[in-house]
């Protein structure tokens, strides 16, 4: 007898075949119908028990959440809602689930409640769908880069450099509580620490990826990154996964083309390969939207949004043009922005990004050529001396999904910039070497994987698209 998973059973049309399967009980009704789910698909399979020939004790143990093994025959279903079902000949309880204690009842739970039960929440339709899409998306990411001759590079998690110069890092140390040795001037003496220097969890693999681009030509990272920023928002995590391609001899225009092509490609991939899950998530979002006031509802369903992004060009707009649009916008004039836009040079907040994307352009937007002093040290200075070749990709409902730049490849300009921004040249000697030996134009970007999963699944909170979220005050599981 062949063991099959539910996805395989539902795909095959071999009725009257004898099979074995295992899974978790979603519901059990009339002492007869088990809705069984094994995680292979959003769909349950109905397993019909011959209750007259099943002992009372076993029937009692078929409860929501229990793990069971079934042997039986695939038959055409008499009932509505499914085409085939399993006529059970043998049932074994593998693991009981006490219905008085099991947190995941067959009813609607709030996402907050499910976050507190993140170890069990993938037993629900929404979270199993989200995590299957997440898995398929990561495969699509690798597929895209591998098919386009990029090399996957694993950059270090523990680093001595602050790639973003933002100082929001988690320190890595083996010093014991209150026992860190001090230097003469009373500072912690990291030369005596494990690595012989101050080290932190990486905020980005970019700088190391640049070294690989400047030898292998095309490189990409896909790994965990860490930010100790105290942002309690629906779009920030303290630990998130970032995808960072980096390409030698590519300028900012090429970088924009790459970002757009990459995002469209992975979205098309999941549209093709996650149909059932996306249809479910599309319905879920439509239901959720119904509870909002008409004016706040999205004009498009999830699937429409995904197709829209896959099929339409992203709008490319310079920072300077964006500032003009924002300055003259209704919310700015009516003082509706929390941070009013008065002059060129202002940093854009998510309210501004969302206005541009959702109200003004109504499509994904790539903003480029930002003021130098609101961006990181490594971005290439334009001839105007005040803007840099930076780009951010902004998405509806998400805001910034990609941040990238053409890198400063000129040694002297980079040194000046580092001095002006207080970046330690000694620490980044190796990064400067890349400008001394065979330097060339190169560019890359970072895409926050969870923000991509959020967009693709229509989930409102970033904590609901990563298995075990890390946020301020929370490292449970």
Q: Which is nearer to ligand 4AD, 276 or 400 (CB)?
A: 400
3-state helix, strand, coil in the chain (%, to 5): 35, 25, 40
The residues with which 444 forms a beta bridge, in sequence order, are: 246, 405
The site partner of 451 among Mg ion, ligand 4AD, none (C-beta below 5 to 8 Å per kind) is ligand 4AD
Q: Which is nearer to ligand 4AD, 358 or 450 (CB)?
A: 450
Question: DSSP string of 302-362?
Answer: HHHHHHHHHHSPPEEEEHHHHHHHHHTSHHHHTT-SSS---STTPPPPHHHHHIIIIIII-
Cα gap 39→341, rounded to integer Å = 49
Whole-angstrom Cα distance, residue 272 to residue 138? Answer: 14
375 binds, among Mg ion, ligand 4AD, none (CB under 5 to 8 A by kind): none
The Cα–Cα gap between 272 and 261 comes to 16
Residues that bind Mg ion (CB under 5 A): 403
DSSP state of 156: -
| Least Cβ distance, residue 448 to Mg ion (angstroms) | 9
- Of Mg ion, ligand 4AD, none, which one sits near residue 244, judging by CB under 5 to 8 A according to partner kind? ligand 4AD
227 binds ligand 4AD (CB under 6 A): yes
Which of 237, 270, 356, 394 touches ligand 4AD by CB under 6 A?
237
Cβ contact 3:90 at 8 Å: no
- 401 lies in the site for ligand 4AD, by CB under 6 A: yes
How would you class 333 by CB atoms within 10 Å of its CB: exposed for 0-12, middle for 13-18, buried for 19 or more? exposed
Q: With binding defined as CB under 6 A, does residue 206 bind ligand 4AD?
A: yes
Least CB distance to ligand 4AD at residue 391 (A): 9
Are 309 and 364 spatial neighbours (Cβ–Cβ below 8 Å)? yes
Other beta carbons less than 10 A from residue 154's beta carbon: 10
Region binding ligand 4AD by CB under 6 A among candidate stretches 89-97, 260-268, 363-371, 438-446: 438-446
Considering the complex, what minimum distance in angstroms separates the CB of residue 403 from Mg ion?
3
**Helical spans, DSSP H, in 84-242:** 111-116, 125-147, 206-216
Does residue 451 touch ligand 4AD according to CB under 6 A?
A: yes
Residue 3 or 257 with smaller CB distance to ligand 4AD:
257
Give 6 or 401: the residue with its C-beta nearer to ligand 4AD. Answer: 401
CB of 392 to Mg ion, least distance (A): 6
Q: Which residues bind ligand 4AD (CB under 6 A)?
A: 163-164, 204, 206, 227, 229, 236-237, 240, 242, 244, 400-405, 444-448, 450-451
């Amino acid at each position: 007898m062949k063991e099959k998973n539910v996805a395989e059973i539902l795909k095959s049309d071999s009725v009257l075949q004898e099979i074995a399967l295992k899974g978790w009980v979603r519901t059990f009704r009339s002492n007869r119908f088990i809705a069984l789910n094994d995680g292979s698909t959003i769909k349950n399979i109905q397993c019909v028990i011959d209750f007259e020939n099943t002992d009372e004790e076993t029937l009692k143990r078929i409860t929501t959440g229990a793990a069971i093994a079934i042997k039986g025959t695939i038959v055409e279903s008499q009932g509505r809602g499914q085409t085939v079902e399993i006529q059970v000949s043998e049932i074994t309880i593998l693991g009981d689930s006490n219905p008085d204690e099991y947190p995941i009842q067959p009813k609607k739970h709030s996402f907050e409640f499910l976050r507190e039960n993140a170890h069990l929440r993938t037993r629900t339709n929404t979270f199993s769908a989200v995590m299957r899409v997440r898995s398929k998306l990561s495969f699509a990411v690798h597929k895209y880069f591998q098919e386009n001759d990029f090399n996957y590079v694993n950059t270090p998690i523990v680093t001595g450099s602050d790639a973003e110069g933002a100082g929001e890092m988690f320190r890595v140390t083996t010093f014991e509580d209150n026992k860190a040795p001090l230097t003469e001037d009373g500072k912690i003496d990291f030369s005596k620490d494990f690595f012989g220097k101050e080290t932190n969890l990486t905020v980005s693999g970019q700088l190391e990826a640049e070294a690989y681009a400047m030898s292998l030509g095309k490189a990409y990272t896909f790994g965990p990154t860490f930010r100790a920023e105290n942002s309690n928002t629906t779009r920030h995590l303290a630990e998130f996964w970032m995808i960072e391609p980096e390409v030698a001899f590519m300028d900012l225009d090429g970088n924009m083309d790459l970002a757009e092509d990459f995002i469209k490609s992975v979205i098309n991939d999941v549209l093709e390969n996650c149909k059932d899950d996306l249809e479910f998530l599309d319905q879920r979002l439509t239901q959720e939207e119904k509870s909002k006031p008409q004016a706040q509802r999205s004009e498009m369903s999830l699937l429409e949004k995904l197709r829209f992004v896959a099929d339409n060009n992203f709008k490319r707009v310079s920072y300077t043009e964006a500032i003009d649009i924002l300055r003259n916008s209704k919310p700015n004039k009516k003082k509706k922005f929390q941070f009013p836009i008065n002059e060129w040079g202002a940093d854009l907040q998510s309210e501004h990004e969302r206005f541009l994307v959702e109200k003004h352009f109504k499509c994904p937007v790539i903003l480029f050529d930002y003021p130098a002093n609101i961006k990181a040290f490594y971005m290439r200075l334009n001839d105007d001396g005040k803007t840099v070749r930076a780009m951010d990709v902004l998405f509806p409902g998400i805001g910034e999904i990609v941040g990238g730049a053409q890198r400063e490849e000129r040694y002297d300009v980079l040194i000046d910039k580092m001095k002006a921004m207080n970046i330690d040249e000694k620490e980044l000697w190796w990064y400067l070497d890349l400008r001394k030996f065979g330097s060339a134009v190169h560019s890359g970007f970072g895409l926050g994987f969870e923000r991509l999963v959020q967009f693709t699944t229509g989930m409102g909170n970033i904590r609901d698209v990563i298995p075990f979220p890390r946020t301020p005050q929370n490292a449970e599981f």
